[in-house]
Amino acid sequence: DYTLHFDGSVGPKNPGLTGGYGFVIQIDGKICYEESGALAGQIISNNYAEFHAVYKGLEVLNTMAVKGDRVFVRGDSQLVINMMNGKFKGKETSIYWPAFEKAKNSLKSFRNKYIPISFDWVPREMNSKADKLADYKTAC
């Protein structure tokens, strides 16, 4: 089983022009991949950075997971988790919408491979590694 922990940040204020994203992929509880990166060049929000982290993490997982695997996506953003689960609709005019669409569209390849994905909210303290990777101060 794969677990993807994600997070994003923007600063020094939200929305802003400087952001970071980070994610960690675990196989059966052991870290096998981690990534962080900077986001700049446009006005972004914290939610945009978090959806971007989900998208990038799923992009990597798509190369790893095969039929029979399960994928658990976990983060401390209720908005991101609830939108990815289809519980919240969100607003197409929101800053985060393009990143949400990329994340949502990346699910198609998992469905085509019959790989189930669940999205679960976790408290911030259970997401500390992704949180550190996503810090906009160190990503830029």
Q: What is the pLDDT of residues 65-96, one digit of tens each?
A: 999 999 999 999 999 999 999 999 999 999 99
Query: Which one is predicted more confidently, 140 or 69?
Result: 69
With b meaning 16 or more CB within 10 Å and e meaning fewer, what string describes 47-63?
bbbbbbbbbbbbebbbe
What is the pLDDT of the chain when averaged over all its residues?
Answer: 95
Cβ contact 43:95 at 8 Å:
yes
User: What is the rounded CA–CA span in Å between residue 50 and residue 53?
Assistant: 5
Record the tokens describing residue 97, joined without a space.
């919408």
Rounded (10°) angle between helices 97-105 and 46-64: 20
Predicted structure pTM score: 0.95
45: confidence class by pLDDT, cuts 50, 70, 90: very high
40: confidence class by pLDDT, cuts 50, 70, 90: confident
